[in-house]
Structure 1
Amino acid sequence: MTPSAPVALMCDYAGVLTTSMYGAAQQVCAELGVDYPHFRAALRALRDVDDPVERIERGELVREEFLKHFHVQLTAALGGVDGERFLDRMGELIQPEPRMNAAVAQLRAAGVPVALVSNSWGNEYPPEVLARFDVVVVSGEVGMRKPDPEIFELAAKQLGVEPAQCVFVDDFEVNTAGAAALGIRTILHEDVDATLRQLSAWFGVPLDV
């Protein structure tokens, strides 16, 4: 039996409604003379031992305490390059992605309920971004994080639909896998054109591809 069309959208923030976090990290590594694959591997190893990112995303750390820990880890992963400088430069490079933001607005205007589902290092989202959504689920405010199934279930409940009636867009494969386990259709966001084509096909709304 052919599954029914989805009726609601869940969307990540950084890396989907903004330019790529991966691309920004690669550029900063190149600027600072850091080997990007080695940096990724070293950071993963550090986070496996003590992961302040997971704790801040669950709301268990305040931002200042988190940064104190994470700057040290990041400096180690960068081979001594200052972690705070690295993050500041990434922040300069990560900018709003206008076509993805426009797509959310178009889908909502067409009657699709839309939810922001974000793992956050502090609720510092631009007000104009939050205003585009019917539902906002920020990890640190609800005490759960992607890919926990509970955060997707909460977003679906607030949207007034079942998880299987949703589409979820995220740039981290671990997060799309978590959503898919609940029967949510997922898009691993790597290319704006490809994401917009898939959203157009599923929701039947012409988007700016």
Structure 2
Amino acid sequence: MSRPVVFDLFHTLVQGADEARDRVVGEMAIMVGVAPAELVAAYHATWRDRLVRWDVEETIRILAGRLGGTPTNEQVTRAGEHRRALARRVLDSVSTATLDVLDALRGDGHPLALISNATSETAQAWPQSPLAQRFDVAVFSCDVGLAKPDPAIYHLAAERLGVGPAECVFVGDGADGELAGAAAVGMTVFRTTEHNDTDPSWGGPLFATLGDLPAKLREPFTAIGPSAAHPGRRDSVKQRQ
């Protein structure tokens, strides 16, 4: 069997849509009767809770309440659907070129897994997305209560693939300290800059176009550990919406 490949999602397989998220959250604020700039700021400040604890309706109720709002159930439902619609659009925006790469990897015998620091609306939209049918395993932080770079989330993905972490290749842009996290559990790490140059200090192998990955996986390569990739520093965790 060819080595399993574990992918990040945002800024790796699809654009992160960060500006669109802020715009949509501002529109949600109007729907629930609070100040748009304040709700956007509250979303940014509670990123960890949203990744591992709250679903979209909980998020709206909790944050609107903190900002002095008293939204009705109908308003919360409407705002939640507005956020879910964005999640569907982001996943549906995956390029044909990216889907072709995933198909090529599967054709070469690589099992594929996803590990994503994502909120509930992304996990809910995933099964209907063009990406879902290409993956054997998908692990979302909101579903498992764990987020990268926690070693446990990498171990969980490998376990669901039926392999050890050291047998896996991890591919990501580097947000949230994910590259060092993957290397720390023994995965071979590749950084992609196709959508965003998120972690330029990472010293391991990289590629600018996802289309380069199938050929790279056919070449001999060795894993790189976090100390070699980031000499003298620890990885910071980047906020994700």
* TM-score by shorter chain over 0.5: yes
Counterpart of 1:38? none
Counterpart of 2:141? 139
The CA deviation string for residues 134-154 of structure 1, in whole angstroms up to 9 with x for no partner, is 111122222211111101001
Structure 1 residue 105, shift from structure 2 partner: 1.8
Q: 1:68 & 1:126 partners in 2: Cα distance?
A: 26
Return closer, same or farther for 1:70/1:152 CA change in 2, 3 Å cut-off. Answer: farther
Q: 2:157 & 2:88 partners in 1: Cα distance?
A: 30
User: What secondary structure is seen at the aligned counterpart in 2 of 1:115?
Assistant: strand
8 Å Cα contact 1:187-1:195 kept in structure 2: no
Counterpart of 2:227? none
Structure 1 residue 194, shift from structure 2 partner: 2.2
- Please tell me the residue identity of whatever aligns with 1:54: R
Q: Within 5 Å, which residues of 2 pair with 1:17-32?
A: 17-21=13-17
Q: 2:60 & 2:193 partners in 1: Cα distance?
A: 28
Return closer, same or farther for 1:133/1:191 CA change in 2, 3 Å cut-off. Answer: same
Counterpart of 2:12? 16
Structure 1 residue 55, shift from structure 2 partner: 1.7
Counterpart of 2:57? 64
- Please tell me the residue identity of whatever aligns with 2:136: D
Return closer, same or farther for 1:188/1:23 CA change in 2, 3 Å cut-off. Answer: farther
8 Å Cα contact 1:173-1:188 kept in structure 2: no
Percent identity reads 31
- Please tell me the residue identity of whatever aligns with 1:144: L
Q: 2:208 & 2:214 partners in 1: Cα distance?
A: 10
Q: 1:202 & 1:106 partners in 2: Cα distance?
A: 13
User: What secondary structure is seen at the aligned counterpart in 1 of 2:189?
Assistant: strand
Structure 1 residue 156, shift from structure 2 partner: 0.8
Structure 2 gaps of 5+ residues are: 24-40, 67-78, 196-206, 220-241
1:54 is aligned, of 35, 43, 48, to 48
Structure 1 residue 167, shift from structure 2 partner: 1.4
Q: 1:15 & 1:71 partners in 2: Cα distance?
A: 29
User: What secondary structure is seen at the aligned counterpart in 1 of 2:105?
Assistant: helix
- Please tell me the residue identity of whatever aligns with 1:56: R
Structure 1 residue 72, shift from structure 2 partner: 9.8
Structure 1 residue 7, shift from structure 2 partner: 0.6
Counterpart of 2:182? 179
Q: 1:25 & 1:177 partners in 2: Cα distance?
A: 27
Is it true that 1:158 corresponds to 2:160 in the alignment?
A: yes
State the aligned residue count.
Answer: 174
8 Å Cα contact 1:120-1:140 kept in structure 2: yes
Q: 2:5 & 2:156 partners in 1: Cα distance?
A: 13
Structure 1 residue 121, shift from structure 2 partner: 1.0
Return closer, same or farther for 1:195/1:165 CA change in 2, 3 Å cut-off. Answer: farther
8 Å Cα contact 2:5-2:110 kept in structure 1: yes
8 Å Cα contact 2:4-2:111 kept in structure 1: yes
Return closer, same or farther for 1:129/1:62 CA change in 2, 3 Å cut-off. Answer: same
Counterpart of 2:223? none
- Please tell me the residue identity of whatever aligns with 1:9: V
Counterpart of 1:105? 103
User: What secondary structure is seen at the aligned counterpart in 2 of 1:131?
Assistant: helix
Q: 2:65 & 2:178 partners in 1: Cα distance?
A: 26
Counterpart of 2:170? 168
User: What secondary structure is seen at the aligned counterpart in 2 of 1:156?
Assistant: helix
Q: 2:193 & 2:116 partners in 1: Cα distance?
A: 17
